[in-house]
């Protein structure tokens, strides 16, 4: 079914949006490569002295809390305020929130000082951000809920923060507080490769940078692209192991076109 995702992908490749990342040093290369692979342009400037200037020149901003410090938080706030002043989409990836007091306080501060366009996390992270009981184990979700339950959590948080909320999982959930979408693409092997969540946030930033006025559709298309690429990568290299699968994932994203994405997407909306 044509959801316009192919058109959105073609816009990314045609417009080549500049996506400013303040991300973590574990997955920074994968985030840069996946951004390039989808057709956008990454810049990874995390110095507080230049963060605001870079964001002002960018088309989207991705803030990733994976390896957090006071310095990183200061840079994120400076970049976020600059992006807000320019009307640039801001994507927050609250990695591991709820795991430590510092990390949790930083997430609360970012949400209070920056107007977010999209927040993406696993169910444990999103439940914490929604003020619900959650269990965080490192950077991974340590609990499982149904897609419908995740949809209710996402819907509530989207209303609370007035932004798009994305919950990554076996079924990805996207909500704007009114409508909620479920994307059933992907493969379990995605969870065995470090950084696939971070890469999702980079893809969301890329799609939002190309289509800033269509954040819900952009976030949905980004998640569909990652899921479909995961299926393709598993077919090509899953039997070879995690390392080959990771490379095949990047290849699949870089070769994804609008027609293929529309053909592969498994999408429903309520």
- DSSP for 93-134 reads E-TTTTSSHHHHHHHHHHHHHS--SEEEEEHHHHHHHTT---
- Half-sphere exposure (CA, 13 Å, Cβ side) for 1? 6
Question: Any bridge partners for residue 180, and if so which?
Answer: 175
Percent of the chain with pLDDT over 70: 95
pLDDT at 138: 52
Q: Are 60 and 17 in contact (CB under 8 A)?
A: yes
Residue 92, domain CATH: 3.40.1190.20
What range defines the domain where residue 121 resides?
5-269
The pLDDT tens digits of the residues spanning 231-259 come to: 999 999 999 999 999 999 999 999 999 99
Neighbours of 174 (CB within 10 A): 31
Q: Which residues of the chain have pLDDT under 70?
A: 1-2, 134-143
Q: Which two tokens stand for residue 243?
A: 């390392």
Using DSSP's 3-state secondary structure scheme, residue 261 falls into helix
Q: Count how many domains the chain has.
A: 1
Helices and strands (DSSP H and E) totals, the chain: 11, 11
pLDDT at 144: 73
The pLDDT tens digits of the residues spanning 103-148 come to: 999 999 999 999 999 999 999 999 999 998 755 555 555 567 899 9
pLDDT at 145: 87
């Amino acid at each position: 079914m044509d959801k316009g995702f192919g058109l959105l992908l073609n816009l990314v490749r045609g417009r080549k949006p500049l996506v400013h990342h303040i991300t973590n040093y574990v997955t920074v290369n994968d985030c840069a490569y996946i951004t390039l692979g989808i057709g956008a342009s990454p810049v990874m400037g995390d110095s507080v002295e230049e963060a605001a200037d870079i964001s002002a020149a960018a088309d989207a901003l991705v803030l990733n809390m994976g390896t957090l410090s006071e310095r990183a938080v200061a840079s994120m706030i400076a970049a976020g305020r600059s992006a807000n002043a320019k009307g640039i989409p801001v994507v927050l990836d609250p990695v591991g929130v709820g795991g430590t007091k510092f990390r949790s306080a930083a997430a609360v501060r970012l949400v209070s000082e920056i107007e977010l366009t999209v927040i993406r996390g696993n169910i444990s992270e999103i439940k914490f951000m929604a003020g619900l009981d959650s269990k965080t184990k490192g950077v991974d979700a340590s609990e499982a809920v149904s897609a419908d339950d995740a949809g209710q959590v996402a819907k509530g948080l989207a209303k609370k923060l007035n932004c798009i909320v994305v919950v990554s999982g076996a079924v990805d959930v996207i909500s704007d507080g009114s409508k909620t979408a479920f994307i059933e693409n992907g493969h379990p092997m995605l969870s065995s490769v470090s950084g696939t969540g971070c890469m999702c946030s980079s893809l969301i930033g890329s799609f939002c940078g190309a289509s800033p006025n269509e954040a819900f559709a952009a976030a949905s298309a980004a998640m569909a692209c990652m899921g479909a690429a995961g299926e393709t990568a598993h077919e090509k290299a899953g039997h070879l192991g995690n390392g080959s699968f990771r490379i095949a994932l990047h290849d699949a994203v870089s070769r994804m076109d609008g027609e293929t994405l529309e053909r592969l997407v498994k999408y429903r909306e309520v």
